[in-house]
Structure 1
Amino acid sequence: MNFAATVVLPLLMSAAPLTSATGAAIGAPRVREVKLARVGLATTPPTIDGRLDDAVWGEAPAFDDFVERSPVLRGAPVEHTAFRLLADNDALYVGVWCDDSQPAAVRGRTTERDAMALFDDDAVSVKIDPTRSRRALLGFVLNAAGGRMDYRALEDTVWQIEVDLVWEGAVARTDGGWTAELRIPWTTLGVDPASAPPVSGFDLTRDHSRLHATYDWALIAPPHQPIAASQLGALEGLPAVLARARPASSRATWALLPWALAGFDQPGGEDARFVGDAGLDVEADLGGGFAGTLTLNTDFAQVEVDDVTTNLDRFDLFLPEKRDFFLRDGDLFNFGESGWASLFHSRTVGLTAQDEATELPILAGVKVGGRTPGGLRLGALSVLTRPAHDVPWRLDSVLRVQQAFDNGSALGVMGTWRQPLEGDGGRNIAAGVDGTWSDEGDPLLVRTFLATTIDDPAPVAGDDIARDAVVDIAGHLDVRWRGELVRPRLGYAWFGPRLRPALGYFERTGIQNAYGELAVVPRLGALGIETLTLAATGAVVLTAPGSDLLDWSSEAGAQLDWEAGYWLGVFGGVGELTVEEDFTLGADHAVLAGVHRQDRVQIEAGTPTTEAVSAQVSVERRAFFGGGAWTLTGSFVARPGTWLRAQLDAQAAFIALPVPDAGDDAFVAPTMNLRLSSGLTRDLELAMFAGWSGLEDAVSLQARLRWTFAPGDDLFAVWELRLDDETGVASHHSFIAKVALRLP
């Protein structure tokens, strides 16, 4: 039994409350001031050039009461920042003034779209929760070089940077720093100007690279993530302003998104064949806060290649969604815990398996979703796939209903249905109820769900035995306290052994899992140290009936984060895991069933990512399925200028597995991923990728050119080659050129 998980953590969590230097209970709710912003009327739309010299900007009130988030929480920013907001019936306009006493030191090294490196430059981030749901937001980022990012975020945890939203942004350098200007159409925000919400969530964040600092207008204090919609300020007065605005110049209630592609495809050992295709997505504003999307002959040509990975575990890898149709409004269909227990994972639709890239061609799909003024969210999705790879015609459908409350809490239900349209059996149904308790002024967060699946197995060829439908249930409860100093968390999950959600992803079934965490994060403010993180975790995994202990683990660690951006961490743990059946790593490395130790110790460190060159390294020694493993991991980034960003991620696991009566099976499992990206211009970028897995004997190469020649209009050119690293024989070779438009 896990002593740390069952005894130590509960004792720590029940200890007398700590007190701060002011005498307040540490972790007690802090009264949160909700900042208010107002918008001015754009009598004349400003020119989006970043200069902010249009006279109309003077008609909007300025807001400059920013607060430092890091390195000094709630400190006064060293440099002045201000923003103004304008609106008309077409769009929301944001103007930002970023003063800097050393204007020549303003950093803008990245122009690659949606690159996380944008936050390592001088950058501004606009965050908008249009309906003030306090659960979801849209983000728009500009750095000092004009590089852009857009994203959707949900519940402080899910961050989708793969989405491409329609908006405009530009920057300019000044004698006193730099300025940024954004135009965000109401259609992008899902807002009807004729019935604009009286209050929206709004925040603006500035990243100041030279000082390794971050400033918020409405402070988003740790442990909340910077994407926490519950922590935004409020934008008021939109209906009154828009009532005085001129009629919209070109507001459309629909959009056509046609695409066409041409190129060649050459599977290994075969002749190259011409590839040509076309399709269409249709987006429509259905009124009343609802929108619909229809996709015909959906393609995947713009999807980036997945990183080359080596699976050194018993369970399938979880890979994120990257396809546009599923990313739009993807937060509406979130149910469960992304990455390990989701009732719906869209990567199961249109692919033979979520961890592979073999496509099932989508003939058509339709999606409808929205929110009523009372906070009721409704969503429905249905996709028809054509037969391929021994999979028949198939219809995958999802229904989602969720009531969102004013404090950020929610209660909802979801149902999924997979129906083969040929043959007998194969139908799969899943349904569940989920809830979240959250309050913008309360550190307590509670998440829970209860679900069931019904699987009607398809008959086995040559077997006339009728098989009954398989039914099972799953449940999960997670409780955490998001204090600034003390952060405990407890959770429990029960996943039945016959749980089979065909449209979902559960890393493991047939278990009970109880876990606990405790983190204490004092902000030191001495010797240049920003925070010290002390953490302990414990987990126990039992069989579903609770009769047998499968796994247990207990870990502890400490990490120092310096104000200059350096960090150092040391972690260690003990435990055991049970392998119920023999399995293989790679092609021929056998792991034997049994109970194995999983003790480990790890040291990792990193340098400031705001510099032109940065690195992260890690060394781990662990017990490994009855043997042992040393794992070396490194990530190295160079950004000499906007013309080039190079990132090399490498890992080498030196593994020794026991072989009965034959000593050890010693081998190396290396992986390497190299990315080179160049912002040729603000709207033209070239990305090159090379990945290698020594255990899988696989090499992947890709080059991807993207030209955004108008908002919403893109030209892609993608070349890809996959090789066997031992023989050098190509297993796949292709080139695709694609144009995607947005009309009007």
Structure 2
Amino acid sequence: MPRLMLERGLLLALLATLRPAAIVGQEPGQAGPARIAVESAPRPAAAALRTDDPPTVDGHLDEPVWQQAVPLTGFVQSRPDTGAPATEETVVRFVYDDRALYIGAICYDSEPDRLFVSSLKQDFNSGSSDVFGVTLDTYLDRRNGFMFLVNPEGALKDVQIFDDSRSENQAWEGPIRVETTRNDEGWTVEIEIPFSTLRFNPSGEDQTWGLQILRRIRRKAEDTFWAPLDRRDQIHKMSKAGTLTGFSGVTPGLNLRVKPYALAQDQTGTLVEEGRGGTQGDVGFDIKFGVTPGLTLDLTYNTDFAQVEVDQEQVNLTRFPLFFPEKRDFFVENSGTFSFGDQSERSYRTGVSLRDFTLFHSRRIGLTGGGEPIPILGGARLTGRTGGFEVGLLNLQMHSSPGLPAENFSVLRARRSLFGTSDIGAIFVNRQATGADIEGYPDFNRSFGFDANLRPLPSLLLAPFVAWTRSPNTDGDSFAGRMWVGWRDELWDVSALWRHVGDNFNPTVGFVRRRDIRQSYATVGLHPRPPLPGVQEVNPYLEIDYVQDLESVLVTRTRTAGFGVSFLNGSGLTLNYTDRFELLREPFRVTTDATIPIGRYDFGGGSAQYRSAPGRALSGFVRVERGGFFAGTRTSLSAGLMWRPNYHLSVDLSANHNNISLPDGDFTADVFGGRIDYGFSTKVFASAFVQYNAAQDQFVTNVRFNYLYSPLSDIFLVYTERRDLAAGMTVERVLAAKVSKSIGF
């Protein structure tokens, strides 16, 4: 009955929102700003100016060369008033010499004292700050690119973009110079991007690149673009970008960069392996070399990740394994090249993600199941484009570790673009023991698969894949496959999925949340833009998910009705109700004191979440869930509070509280966390991150200091401690100092 009433309410709300929308803030009959149809608007073109007298990168656009360059203006809103002119003017110019591309922008602002900057740190949260951004598609393949986002205080976020906005690599970094200044008319930004930082084909005398430019005004929740975009698209939607011409006689140069490091650390605690404790030192290096204009070779020796932040604690109330994301720089860089599996699609509701199925998950390399490091001897990675293919080759050799032999990991990935925005691809993953045999440990594990991303119509996307695994002495179904089809336009969001995962499908260098299943999923939703005060968009939706075993017996079913509201100020509200069925053939332990017995379970519950506007000194979110939990009930409260009194300091607090009532008793599962970031400048940062996992009664502390003393060169001081409060002992304590130096040739 509650679900039926909710569905009726959603239908009535939907009918109310489908009437024609007036201009927000406009009285009936009043003329509003001229709008354009962003989806059919022509893509703009611009030309860069060649110069023998490059500008000084100081944030002041006072050199004559800037006045000689053609100005780019006429930005168009994607949010909040799609298709309307920007409320504040932006003027951008491009010039270049033999060595670098220079970008100068004047971001006029009628209230410059209200510019909002959330942080000074590199790769800052661009969604909660005023931003100027540029994305360059250097191969003009309408799929991949380099993105550079800058806030008014000069912090830089540089990112690699893959597959026309499907995935991004935030670990990518280049020796980019950025300077900004503020004045009474707004702010200016000046960017220098060496051609050696980018990948492009210099064989042609004249270069044409894809280009998109963003201006974000946080207090107005306004995003404007040079090449007009709908609100569901982002700056890295390269298939809808404009073009930048005028380049002649430019080359990426030798494109060789060597980065040695030195490390000193002291480790103690019960989790530290024998022989790795105490005070130790080490050295290693990374090399990056542009083998061809399209291919980059990365070499690493004695690889170390002492500077990487610790994993965030998670509450697991399911019978399936948890997915932890990759954070190590070497693996995150170019990671989009190797993606294969349940990749989610931006702006589509897919029902799955790489947290459900991925054939290659780099955390299987160099880390144990508990997240402890395994020494990496060295390896190589070759990525890029050649002969119409996007390719990736990865090979890493591991040292032996207690209970594990020395192993070699290899991945080969290739994709071929079709018809501009479609592609087909293949992947091969091999894990091979290279050391002494260990009883019960397989000599090898191999995975291979084929996938495609097909876009026969602008709003229609099909994404099938098939995959197999092989290991010694294994029988049974080792096949996996899926077909996903989705339609997303300005109003409709519709998709369906069918997926099969065999009971013996076991990619030991991947991640599979569930095996022995056949899954069917479908969803339908709408995104009308009603003429309601303060409302940008509403999103009623229905989705259903059926999971059967390979004998066609229903084991899981979820039916969800939801309703979301996006407000003009950037905040959002989401409500949903889910009806669930679960068949348990084996009991599973939720905690050490609670076990769910074998049986059939029907239960349901609802949730509500509100997220406040991000462009404020104090923001946050709260989520409340209440309903059944197998044979009992569950009440959950998740909340986060972000306080940013200025762009130097930010404080983030989070809490996840779960109260479970079962026939054999009640229990709680809680995780609490806190983080403080302080940016002394855009080069010097400090952070402290603490977590408490009540279920394990563990307290984790991670304190980091980072000095970026020259481009791509760092000094890190890191302290990590993990305490078992119940046992009253320190299970891990690490103090590390690491220095790296990037040398370009």
Instruction: Give the TM-score normalised by the residue count of structure 2.
Output: 0.89
- 1:209, distance to aligned residue in structure 2 (A): 1.6
Letter in 2 for 1:362: I
Q: Unpaired segments of 5 or more residues in structure 1?
A: 12-17, 23-27, 457-466, 660-664
- Quote the Cα distance in structure 1 between the aligned partners of 2:38 and 2:570: 29
Residues 413-454 of structure 1 show CA distances to partners (whole Å, capped at 9, x for unaligned) of: 111111111328431111111101137x71111111111111
- Quote the Cα distance in structure 1 between the aligned partners of 2:325 and 2:63: 42
Trace 1:596-615 onto structure 2 (pairs within 5 A): 596-615=601-620
**Runs of 4+ in structure 1 over 4 Å off:** 18-22, 192-197, 269-272, 468-471
Q: Name which of 501, 506, 526 aligns with 1:495.
A: 501
| Mapped contact 1:294–1:365 kept (Cα < 8 A) | yes
| Mapped contact 2:212–2:238 kept (Cα < 8 A) | no
Residues 672-694 of structure 1 show CA distances to partners (whole Å, capped at 9, x for unaligned) of: 12110011111101111001110
Letter in 2 for 1:364: G
- Paired residue secondary structure (2:503): coil
Q: 1:622 to 1:158 in 2, by over 3 A?
A: farther
Letter in 2 for 1:670: D
Letter in 1 for 2:255: T
Q: Name which of 75, 85, 93 aligns with 1:76.
A: 85
Aligned length, in residue pairs: 700
- Quote the Cα distance in structure 2 between the aligned partners of 1:269 and 1:108: 41
- Paired residue secondary structure (2:287): strand
Match of 1:463 in 2: none
- 1:30, distance to aligned residue in structure 2 (A): 4.5
- Quote the Cα distance in structure 2 between the aligned partners of 1:178 and 1:160: 28
Match of 2:156 in 1: 148
Trace 1:95-134 onto structure 2 (pairs within 5 A): 95-116=104-125, 118-134=126-142
- Quote the Cα distance in structure 2 between the aligned partners of 1:84 and 1:29: 23
- Quote the Cα distance in structure 2 between the aligned partners of 1:708 and 1:470: 53
Identity of aligned residues (%): 28
- Quote the Cα distance in structure 1 between the aligned partners of 2:729 and 2:199: 49
| Mapped contact 1:602–1:620 kept (Cα < 8 A) | yes
| Mapped contact 1:136–1:331 kept (Cα < 8 A) | no
- 1:226, distance to aligned residue in structure 2 (A): 4.4
Match of 1:414 in 2: 427
Match of 1:522 in 2: 528
The answer on 1:304 being equivalent to 2:309 is yes
The answer on 1:399 being equivalent to 2:399 is no
Letter in 2 for 1:138: F
Residues 110-164 of structure 1 show CA distances to partners (whole Å, capped at 9, x for unaligned) of: 1122232x33221112212221233333221111122221222333332332333
Match of 1:254 in 2: 256
Match of 1:370 in 2: 384
- Paired residue secondary structure (1:77): coil
Match of 1:710 in 2: 710
- Quote the Cα distance in structure 1 between the aligned partners of 2:196 and 2:429: 29
| Mapped contact 2:49–2:246 kept (Cα < 8 A) | no
Letter in 2 for 1:503: V
The answer on 1:48 being equivalent to 2:57 is yes
The answer on 1:345 being equivalent to 2:345 is no
- 1:523, distance to aligned residue in structure 2 (A): 1.1
Moved more, 294-303 or 151-160: 151-160
Trace 1:635-650 onto structure 2 (pairs within 5 A): 635-650=640-655
| Mapped contact 2:477–2:502 kept (Cα < 8 A) | no
Q: Name which of 465, 468, 473 aligns with 1:452.
A: 468
- Quote the Cα distance in structure 1 between the aligned partners of 2:728 and 2:154: 41
- Quote the Cα distance in structure 2 between the aligned partners of 1:305 and 1:197: 46
Match of 1:60 in 2: 69
Letter in 1 for 2:263: L
| Mapped contact 2:90–2:108 kept (Cα < 8 A) | yes
Match of 2:245 in 1: 236
Letter in 2 for 1:368: L
Q: 1:51 to 1:691 in 2, by over 3 A?
A: same
| Mapped contact 1:587–1:696 kept (Cα < 8 A) | no
Letter in 2 for 1:114: D
Trace 1:704-743 onto structure 2 (pairs within 5 A): 704-743=704-743
Trace 1:485-564 onto structure 2 (pairs within 5 A): 485-545=491-551, 547-564=552-569
Q: 1:103 to 1:196 in 2, by over 3 A?
A: farther
Match of 1:579 in 2: 584
Letter in 1 for 2:498: Y
Match of 2:30 in 1: none
Letter in 2 for 1:710: S
| Mapped contact 1:43–1:56 kept (Cα < 8 A) | no
- Paired residue secondary structure (1:318): coil
| Mapped contact 2:142–2:420 kept (Cα < 8 A) | yes
Q: Unpaired segments of 5 or more residues in structure 2?
A: 12-17, 23-36, 343-353
- Paired residue secondary structure (1:491): strand
| Mapped contact 2:38–2:82 kept (Cα < 8 A) | no
- Paired residue secondary structure (1:133): coil
The answer on 1:651 being equivalent to 2:664 is no
Q: 1:138 to 1:597 in 2, by over 3 A?
A: farther
Q: 1:603 to 1:252 in 2, by over 3 A?
A: same
- Quote the Cα distance in structure 1 between the aligned partners of 2:53 and 2:701: 49
Match of 1:672 in 2: 672
Residues 657-678 of structure 1 show CA distances to partners (whole Å, capped at 9, x for unaligned) of: 233xxxxx21111111211001
Letter in 2 for 1:647: D
Q: 1:336 to 1:468 in 2, by over 3 A?
A: closer
| Mapped contact 1:186–1:192 kept (Cα < 8 A) | no
Q: 1:405 to 1:43 in 2, by over 3 A?
A: farther
Residues 334-387 of structure 1 show CA distances to partners (whole Å, capped at 9, x for unaligned) of: 11222221111111111123xx32111110111112212x52122211111010
| Mapped contact 1:431–1:453 kept (Cα < 8 A) | yes
| Mapped contact 1:109–1:121 kept (Cα < 8 A) | yes
- 1:275, distance to aligned residue in structure 2 (A): 2.2
- Paired residue secondary structure (2:743): coil
Letter in 1 for 2:420: N
- 1:99, distance to aligned residue in structure 2 (A): 0.3
| Mapped contact 1:296–1:365 kept (Cα < 8 A) | yes
- Paired residue secondary structure (1:499): coil
- Paired residue secondary structure (1:230): helix
Alignment root-mean-square deviation, CA: 2.5
- Quote the Cα distance in structure 2 between the aligned partners of 1:503 and 1:187: 33
- Quote the Cα distance in structure 1 between the aligned partners of 2:121 and 2:535: 32
Letter in 1 for 2:210: G
Residues 233-265 of structure 1 show CA distances to partners (whole Å, capped at 9, x for unaligned) of: 222232x3xx2x6x88xx433111111111211
| Mapped contact 2:162–2:337 kept (Cα < 8 A) | no
Residues 605-629 of structure 1 show CA distances to partners (whole Å, capped at 9, x for unaligned) of: 1221101001211110122132111
Moved more, 39-48 or 497-506: 39-48
Letter in 1 for 2:540: L
- Paired residue secondary structure (2:644): strand
Q: 1:694 to 1:20 in 2, by over 3 A?
A: same
- 1:232, distance to aligned residue in structure 2 (A): 2.1
The answer on 1:227 being equivalent to 2:240 is no
| Mapped contact 1:375–1:405 kept (Cα < 8 A) | no
| Mapped contact 1:92–1:183 kept (Cα < 8 A) | yes
| Mapped contact 2:38–2:229 kept (Cα < 8 A) | no
The answer on 1:181 being equivalent to 2:186 is no
Match of 1:694 in 2: 694
Q: 1:19 to 1:233 in 2, by over 3 A?
A: farther
The answer on 1:442 being equivalent to 2:464 is no
The answer on 1:158 being equivalent to 2:174 is no
| Mapped contact 1:382–1:398 kept (Cα < 8 A) | yes
Letter in 1 for 2:148: F
- Quote the Cα distance in structure 2 between the aligned partners of 1:298 and 1:119: 33
- Paired residue secondary structure (1:509): coil
Moved more, 509-518 or 48-57: 48-57
Q: 1:682 to 1:237 in 2, by over 3 A?
A: same
- 1:67, distance to aligned residue in structure 2 (A): 0.7
